[in-house]
Structure 1
Amino acid sequence: MGANKSERVLVEEWRDILDVHARTMCELDRELHPHGLGASDFEVLDVLAEGVAQDGGCSYRVQELAARVHLSQSALSRLIARLEKDGLVTRGMCTEDRRGVRVALTDEGRARHAEVQPLQRAVLGRMLER
Structure 2
Amino acid sequence: MAVTKSERALVQQWRDVLALHARTTCELDRALHQHGLGASDFEVLDVLAEASAEDGGAAYRVQDIASRVHLSQSALSRLVARLEKEGLVTRGMCSEDRRGVRVALTDAGRARHAEVRPLQRAVLSRMLTESPGSASRR
With normalisation by structure 1, the TM-score equals 0.94
The letter of the residue matching 1:23 is R
1:74 aligns with 2:79: no
Q: In the TM superposition, what is the alpha-carbon distance from 1:61 to its structure 2 partner?
A: 0.2
Q: In the TM superposition, what is the alpha-carbon distance from 1:2 to its structure 2 partner?
A: 9.1
CA displacement 1:28-50 (0-9 Å, x = unmatched): 00000000000000000000000
Q: In the TM superposition, what is the alpha-carbon distance from 1:104 to its structure 2 partner?
A: 0.2
Give distance in 2, aligned partners of 1:5 and 1:82.
47
Unaligned runs of 5+ in 1: none
Which aligned pairs between 1:47-126 and structure 2 lie closer than 5 A?
47-51=47-51, 58-126=58-126
RMSD of aligned residue pairs (Cα, Å): 2.2
Unaligned runs of 5+ in 2: 132-138
Q: In the TM superposition, what is the alpha-carbon distance from 1:58 to its structure 2 partner?
A: 2.0
Q: Would you say the 8 A contact 2:32–2:39 is kept in 1?
A: yes
Q: In the TM superposition, what is the alpha-carbon distance from 1:119 to its structure 2 partner?
A: 0.2
Give distance in 2, aligned partners of 1:56 and 1:40.
23
The letter of the residue matching 1:11 is V
Please give the secondary structure, in 1, of the residue aligned with 2:97.
coil
CA displacement 1:12-63 (0-9 Å, x = unmatched): 00000001000000000000000000000000000000016xx986210000
With normalisation by structure 2, the TM-score equals 0.88
The letter of the residue matching 2:76 is L
